[in-house]
Amino acid sequence: QLQLQESGPGLVKPSETLSLTCTVSGGSINSSRYHWGWIRQPPGRGLEWIGSFYYSGNTYCNPSLKSRVTISVDTSKSQFSLKVTSVTAADTAVYFCARVGSPWGEFDYWGQGTLVTVSS
Amino acid sequence: IQMTQSPSSLSASIGDRVTITCRANLTINSYLNWYQQKPGKAPKFLIYAASSLQSGVPSRFSGSGSGTDFTLTISSLQPEDFATYFCQQSYSTPVYTFGQGTKVEI
What is the number of alpha carbons within 13 Å of residue B88 lying toward its C-beta?
28
**Residues making up chain A, counted from first to last:** 120
Q: Would strands A114-118 and A11-12 be described as parallel, antiparallel, or unpaired?
A: parallel
Selecting from B35, B96, B99 the residue whose C-beta is nearest the C-beta of A105 gives B96
Helix (H, G, I), strand (E, B) or coil at B62: strand
CA angle (A48, A52, A56) in 5-degree steps: 165
CB-based contacts of B73, cutoff 8 Å, min separation 6 = B17, B18, B19, B20, B61, B62, B63, B64
What's the pLDDT at A118?
98
The mean pLDDT value for A80-105 works out to 96
* Nearest residue in A to B41, CA atom: A112
Helix (H, G, I), strand (E, B) or coil at A67: helix
**CB contact A92 to B (< 8 Å):** no
Query: What is the C-alpha to C-alpha distance for residues B10 and B4, in angstroms, rounded to an integer?
Result: 15
Say yes or no for a CB contact (<8 Å) between A60 and B95.
yes
Q: How confident is the model at residue A110 (pLDDT cuts 50, 70, 90)?
A: very high
Instruction: Determine contact, residues A59/A1, Cβ cutoff 8 Å.
Output: no
Residue-wise pLDDT for A32-80, tens only, equals: 889 999 999 999 999 999 999 988 888 999 999 978 999 999 989 999 9
Query: What is the C-alpha to C-alpha distance for residues A11 and A14, in angstroms, rounded to an integer?
Result: 10
Query: What is the C-alpha to C-alpha distance for residues A84 and A16, in angstroms, rounded to an integer?
Result: 9
Q: Distance of alpha carbon B74 from its chain centroid, rounded?
A: 10
Segments of B8-68 assigned E as strands? 9-11, 18-24, 32-37, 44-48, 52-53, 61-66
What's the pLDDT at B71?
98
Q: How confident is the model at residue A30 (pLDDT cuts 50, 70, 90)?
A: confident
* Nearest residue in B to A43, CA atom: B40
CA-based nearest residue to A117, from A36, A5, A31, A8: A8
**CB contact B45 to A (< 8 Å):** yes
Instruction: Determine contact, residues A90/A45, Cβ cutoff 8 Å.
Output: no
What's the pLDDT at A33?
87
Say yes or no for a CB contact (<8 Å) between A112 and B54.
no
**Residues making up chain B, counted from first to last:** 106
Query: What is the C-alpha to C-alpha distance for residues B41 and B49, in angstroms, rounded to an integer?
Result: 24
Q: How confident is the model at residue B106 (pLDDT cuts 50, 70, 90)?
A: confident
**Does residue A23 register a pLDDT over 90?**
yes
Residue-wise pLDDT for B53-102, tens only, equals: 999 999 999 999 999 999 999 999 999 999 999 999 999 988 999 999 99
What's the pLDDT at A57?
84
**Which of A61, A97, A102, A104 to substitute to test the interface with B, most B CBs within 10 Å?**
A104
Q: How confident is the model at residue A99 (pLDDT cuts 50, 70, 90)?
A: very high
Residue-wise pLDDT for B8-59, tens only, equals: 999 999 999 999 999 999 999 999 999 999 999 999 999 999 999 999 999 9
